[in-house]
Structure 1
Amino acid sequence: MAHGSTRPTSRDVAQTAGVSQAAVSLVLGDKWRGRVSETTAERVREAARTLGYRPNLAARNLRLGRTRTILLVVPALTTEFFAGVYTGAARIAAHHGFGVVLYPSPEGIGPARSPFASAQAALDGVLASSMAADALTAIRGDQLPLVMLDSDPHGSLGAATVNLDIADGVRQLTDHLTGLGHRHLLHLAADIASWTFEVRARELTTRLATVPGATVRTARAPIAIDAARDAAEAALTAPGPRPTAVICDDDKLAAGVYKAARRLGLAIPDDLSVTGLDDLALATALDPELTTVRLDAELFGERGMQALLAVLDGREPHGGDIPVHLVVRGSTAPPHTS
């Protein structure tokens, strides 16, 4: 090679192609359209290939003031849902030349120690679940370009929010159960202070208010099967008419209801209809299989990362909640009439 063992530079590419170094930067940075001709762009690319030129990304990023690194803050990865969010986010990031550092809050929710001496120096932006919002304070992530997932669009820390249409999912579940004839419902709510769970409770109450004779009893439990079992057992044996259907904030909570029903000698769905929300692999492992709302975790991650990249580019992210849909399986049926 004409340049011996030295690494070819952008000046070498410019000389070989017969163009300016500025033109080389535009073409190899994929910002040439409307500024140099297609013929010139191809000549630059051909010269770069011939010389074996590779841009110095570290120097380029230094000039841009970017590390091309995104921090994804989620609750601890004990659920496949957030693993799916990561998969979708990382796919979009990689397509745009960004890496993703995953930062699970060790206790699932709440503050966590910062993995960085200075997040601002190490990161370009943050994508965070509202379920791990407290961790943002610890890493000072709220001082970086930030997009929130599952967060109140009217009170978010972030420059943008990306949400699943959870309210519509709850409407679909409620309409399904009341359509079957259920009027006495139990809401097994996740015992987590998070906007996404507040939406579930609010939408359920609003929807049932339109159904004559409908009542709802609320019990709370951490998202853990044994805790859900105990909470459901207590609620199903409390004084007053026994609920004929249970709406759970999460599929794991529904698994706990199955255990409670077995303890109480109640058959699902003959004596008790049960619904979840997520459509985790667990939903089809239960017997009977669980009626639930499918949330597309990977699409959620993709849309979140697309929104953050738009914010970094100074563009307006696409709006609109991500649709969800009801999956009816064997865990729901009309109530027994006595």
Structure 2
Amino acid sequence: MTDDDTTASRAGLKPGKRPTINDVARIAGVSKKTVSRVINQSPFVREETRVKVSAVIDDLGFTPDVQARGLAFRRSFLVGLIYDNPSPNYVVNMQQGVLDALRGSGLELVVHPCDRSNPALVSEIRAFVERQKLFGVILPPSVSEDEAVIDVLRELDCPYVRIASVSLDAPERMLVTNDHLGAAEAGRHLADLGHRRIGFISGPTLFRSSAVRGGGLRDALAERGVALDERLVVEGAYTFESGVEAAKSLLALDPRPTAIFTGNDEMALGVFKVARDMGLEIPRDLSVVGYDDLPMASRVWPNLTSVRLPIRDMGRMAAEKLLAPMRGLDPAKLDQPEVRPSLVVRDSATALKP
């Protein structure tokens, strides 16, 4: 009789019989789901339980195959990126970053666009997570800000990482982008160039970043003794088309603003179009500053001054947090740099002519 047979006999198993996950659960005195969590290195297991179950697994020589792991844990090897951001460039950059982190992990990415204003959003996401049996989920803004979505993910025991302009969750489930700091840099830059009549095209109110970026702009202008005229604030939708409509409204004013700060680069390009159609020259007649510093910012003329948000890095960092427990790491203690937006000065903003 081999040592393995002796161990199996002590555990009440027939000699030569391969132990199953049910055997491990019975001997450890836990549920099969708990055993699955231990096998998959879930962060949602107490250390005492993890040690006990791991000891039983070692004693029995239990070795689940890949398919069994997926089935027992009721998870696939898919990471979901659930987004409602209307900027395709933002989404593509985010995907690239997530893929950077997943490479070599055995996990694959599946994307799921959604509409946060849809009354069926929560049930739609529930169905998506259950249908795909997701390993975990990454949530960019603004779906990351929806607490009803978070409640569903917790109910389904689906790991997640949120990306948002301010902290909304525990550190291990949160990547904060500090949007207030970036918008403040843009505001100081325009004020230091001598601009006092500054227009602001915000994002939609559904996005927390809209208010946070607006707050950063206001605070920075106040530091310079400049008040943001609320009549020069227009809500956009983070799309090129909404930038066009907002710019038409602002540039029809008399006097019109001498500078416009937009909540993202897509809307800044809308301002470029309207200015050109009106015969205005940027930056001679109008200074423009965007946000995100997408690749398009350096491909238009004049090159767009923009607040750089490291979107690809953000996707990678969020995915690394999600994968950390699988790699035996504490996601709250990962050595990741803080996401800090920074202003990239180019040619679209200049000093106000006296």
Could you tell me the TM-score, scaled by structure 1's length? Answer: 0.73
Which residue identity does 2:238 align to in structure 1? I
Can you list the C-alpha shifts for 1:249-285, whole angstroms capped at 9, x where unaligned?
1111111111222233322111110011112232233
* 2:237 equivalent to 1:228: no
Shift of the alpha carbon at 1:212?
Answer: 1.9
Shift of the alpha carbon at 1:97?
Answer: 2.5
2-structure distance, mates of 1:244, 1:321: 34
Which residue identity does 1:119 align to in structure 2? V
Shift of the alpha carbon at 1:131?
Answer: 1.8
Cα 1:59–1:223 shift into 2, 3 Å: same
Residue 48 of structure 2 is matched in structure 1 by none
Can you list the C-alpha shifts for 1:34-81, whole angstroms capped at 9, x where unaligned?
xxxxxxxxxxxxxxxxxxxx9831123445554332211112675122
Residue 22 of structure 2 is matched in structure 1 by none
Alignment equivalent of 1:128, drawn from 120, 127, 139: 139
Asked whether the equivalents of residues 145 and 158 of structure 1 are also in contact (C-alpha less than 8 Å), the reply is no
Q: Please, which runs of 5 or more residues in structure 2 have no aligned partner? A: 5-17, 20-38, 42-62
Residue 215 of structure 2 is matched in structure 1 by 202
Which residue identity does 2:96 align to in structure 1? T
Deviates more, 1:119-128 or 1:284-293: 119-128
Deviates more, 1:78-87 or 1:267-276: 78-87
Alignment equivalent of 2:300, drawn from 286, 302, 306: 286
Can you list the C-alpha shifts for 1:291-332, whole angstroms capped at 9, x where unaligned?
112222211001111122236668242476312222111111
Q: Please, which runs of 5 or more residues in structure 1 have no aligned partner? A: 1-10, 12-20, 23-28, 32-53
3-state secondary structure, aligned to 2:223 = coil
Alignment equivalent of 2:93, drawn from 84, 95, 118: 84
Can you list the C-alpha shifts for 1:70-126, whole angstroms capped at 9, x where unaligned?
211112675122111112112312333222221111x48645573775724712321
Which residue identity does 2:180 align to in structure 1? A
Following superposition of structure 1 onto structure 2, how do residues 67-78 of structure 1 map, counting pairs within 5 Å?
67-75=76-84, 78=87
Alignment equivalent of 1:114, drawn from 111, 124, 135: 124
- Tell me the number of residue pairs that the alignment of Structure 1 and Structure 2 aligns: 287
Residue 218 of structure 1 is matched in structure 2 by 233
Which residue identity does 1:295 align to in structure 2? L
2-structure distance, mates of 1:227, 1:284: 21
Which residue identity does 1:236 align to in structure 2? L
Which residue identity does 1:329 align to in structure 2? R
Q: CA RMSD in A?
A: 3.4
1-structure distance, mates of 2:185, 2:257: 19
**Which has the larger share of helix?**
2
Asked whether the equivalents of residues 109 and 131 of structure 1 are also in contact (C-alpha less than 8 Å), the reply is no
* 2:309 equivalent to 1:295: yes
Cα 1:304–1:160 shift into 2, 3 Å: same
Cα 1:151–1:331 shift into 2, 3 Å: closer
1-structure distance, mates of 2:87, 2:340: 24
* 2:338 equivalent to 1:324: no
Cα 1:267–1:220 shift into 2, 3 Å: same
Residue 260 of structure 1 is matched in structure 2 by 274
3-state secondary structure, aligned to 2:324 = helix
Shift of the alpha carbon at 1:226?
Answer: 3.1
Shift of the alpha carbon at 1:159?
Answer: 6.0
Asked whether the equivalents of residues 305 and 348 of structure 2 are also in contact (C-alpha less than 8 Å), the reply is yes
2-structure distance, mates of 1:222, 1:157: 29
Can you list the C-alpha shifts for 1:175-227, whole angstroms capped at 9, x where unaligned?
21112111211111112411122210111111111112443421112233233
Cα 1:211–1:123 shift into 2, 3 Å: same
1-structure distance, mates of 2:117, 2:320: 25
Residue 164 of structure 1 is matched in structure 2 by 177
Residue 103 of structure 2 is matched in structure 1 by 94
Cα 1:226–1:59 shift into 2, 3 Å: closer
Identity %: 26
